[in-house]
Amino acid sequence: EVQLVQSGAEVKKPGESLKISCRTSGYIFSSFWIGWVRQMPGKGLEWMGIIYPGDSDTKYSPSFQGQVTMSVDRSTGTTYLHWSSLKASDSAMYYCARLTYSDSDVNFFDSWGQGTLVTVSS
Amino acid sequence: SYGLTQPPSVSVAPGKTASITCGGNHIGSQSVHWYQQKPGQAPVVVIYNERDRPSGIPERFSGSTSGNTATLTISRVEAGDEADYYCQVWDSSPDHVIFGGGTKLTVL
């Protein structure tokens, strides 16, 4: 069974750094892209970017390029999302999700983590 | 930039049919996927590749595309179908994911 388990809720102050995680199991980690999706309170889904664990190739949404960094640890099957300096506007729920990817562009998220709630407040 | 347009809300009585639309200029040449998100839960894919259903998704859920509009149709709507629904496509120029704004389905 494919599983994505995310780290727990975080409460941080503006300017602090943060790394949240998404631990996967039940499939070959290096063979599937993993994406990150933001959902601000009461709002819709926003794609942040994807990372390919096989070679750490990344694709970022222009809205999030330079704002966050994605990384992987192939030894543990874990993907990370990192902020170097948080802002209050980063307060949101963050989901990781596995991307089913094909050459015919039938690309969608077939499994999701449970979400990590990040609260940034002074 | 290219975007997908969904109605903010759709209401339907139990047992009736709900149709949720997703409009986009290039959607006729793209593979459309649909997600259901119930309150406090992560999204779940209910339709992928325009009309395919993952295992475990009831046959009441179906998808189609005509022209620049994709449609998620839910037949014999149940109270448990009340949720937010999002459409999604992949755009390869450059590679990126696009979500629609979401539609809140209310079962009356």
| pLDDT given for residue B94 in this prediction | 86
Does the pLDDT of residue B61 top 70, yes or no? Answer: yes
Which residue of chain B is at minimal alpha-carbon distance from A105? B90
The closest CB to that of B86, out of A45, A97, A114, belongs to: A45
Q: How much is the mean pLDDT over chain A?
A: 96
CA separation for the pair A19, A70 (Å, rounded): 9
Does the pLDDT of residue A103 top 80, yes or no? Answer: no
Does the pLDDT of residue B106 top 90, yes or no? Answer: yes
* DSSP label of A67: T
CA separation for the pair B96, B93 (Å, rounded): 8
Cβ distance A107 to B49 less than 8 Å, yes or no, reads no
CA separation for the pair B65, B89 (Å, rounded): 13
| pLDDT given for residue B77 in this prediction | 98
Share of chain B above pLDDT 90, in %: 88
Which residue of chain B is at minimal alpha-carbon distance from A58? B95
Q: How much is the mean pLDDT over chain B?
A: 95
B100 chain-A contacts, CB cut-off 8 A = 44
Residue B8 is encoded by which pair of tokens? 């903010």
B39, B102 contact by CB (below 8 A): no
Cβ distance A45 to B35 less than 8 Å, yes or no, reads yes
Does the pLDDT of residue A104 top 80, yes or no? Answer: no
Which among A39, A43, A113 is positioned nearest to B104, based on CA atoms? Answer: A43
The closest CB to that of B96, out of A61, A97, A109, belongs to: A61
Does the pLDDT of residue B40 top 70, yes or no? Answer: yes
Cβ distance B94 to A105 less than 8 Å, yes or no, reads no
Average confidence (pLDDT) over B52-64: 97
Higher-pLDDT residue of B88 and B2 is B88
Q: What is the pLDDT of residues A36-66, one digit of tens each?
A: 999 999 999 999 999 999 999 999 999 999 9
Q: What is the pLDDT of residues A63-83, one digit of tens each?
A: 999 999 999 999 999 999 999
| Chain B interface, Cβ < 8 Å to A | 30-31, 33, 35, 37, 42-45, 48-49, 54, 84, 86, 88, 90, 92, 94-102
Average confidence (pLDDT) over A8-22: 98
Residue B43 confidence class, pLDDT cut points 50, 70, 90: very high
The closest CB to that of B45, out of A46, A110, A114, belongs to: A110
Residue B1 confidence class, pLDDT cut points 50, 70, 90: low
Residue B90 CB coordination number (10 Å): 20
A105 chain-B contacts, CB cut-off 8 A = 30-31, 90, 92
| pLDDT given for residue A88 in this prediction | 97
Average confidence (pLDDT) over B21-38: 94
Residue B42 confidence class, pLDDT cut points 50, 70, 90: very high
| pLDDT given for residue A106 in this prediction | 85
CA separation for the pair B45, A106 (Å, rounded): 13
| pLDDT given for residue A23 in this prediction | 98
Query: CA dist B25 to A1, B1, B4, Å?
Result: 37, 11, 8
